[in-house]
C-alpha cells in the first residue's frame, strides 16, 4: 500500500473518498427542524467530548475572526474590528 504524507497546515486538506461522500450526501437548511435536532446533538456531543457541563459555543469564521473573538473575550482592550491590510482604506 502506498503511504501518503500529510502536511497539517491551513489550506486545502486531502480527504478520504468516504469523507467526501459523507459530506456531500446530507444537506439540511439551517432553519429546519432537522438541522436544529442535529445541531442540538452536536452541541451535546461537544460538551461530552470537552468534558464540560457549561454551554458550548460554535463559531463559524475565518482564522482572523476566531482570533479576534477569543482575544476580545479575554482582553477588553482588543479592537472590535480587524485592522489588517484588507480593512485599510
pLDDT in tens, 40-74: 999 999 999 999 999 998 877 777 777 777 777 77
Structural domains counted in the chain? 1
Instruction: Give the domain range for residue 61.
Output: 29-84
In a domain, 19, yes or no: no
Q: Give residue 13's Cα distance to chain centre.
A: 15
In a domain, 11, yes or no: no
Cell output for 87: 480593512
Give dist(CA 29, CA 75) in Å, integer: 35
Measure CA of the first residue to CA of the last residue in the chain; give whole Å: 53
In a domain, 34, yes or no: yes
C-alpha dist (Å) from residue 66 to 9, 85, 86, 88:
17, 17, 16, 20
Cell output for 41: 446533538
In a domain, 60, yes or no: yes
In a domain, 1, yes or no: no
pLDDT in tens, 6-32: 666 677 777 888 888 888 887 888 899
Q: Which of 26, 23, 58 is nearest to 41 (CA)?
A: 58
Amino acid at each position: 500500500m502506498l503511504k501518503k504524507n500529510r502536511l497539517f497546515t491551513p489550506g486545502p486538506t486531502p480527504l478520504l473518498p468516504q469523507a467526501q461522500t459523507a459530506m456531500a450526501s446530507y444537506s439540511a437548511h439551517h432553519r429546519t427542524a432537522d438541522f436544529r435536532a442535529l445541531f442540538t446533538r452536536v452541541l451535546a456531543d461537544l460538551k461530552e467530548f470537552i468534558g464540560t457541563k457549561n454551554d458550548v459555543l460554535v463559531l463559524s469564521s475565518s482564522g482572523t475572526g476566531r482570533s479576534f473573538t477569543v482575544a476580545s473575550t479575554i482582553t477588553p482592550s482588543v479592537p472590535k474590528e480587524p485592522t489588517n491590510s484588507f480593512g485599510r482604506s
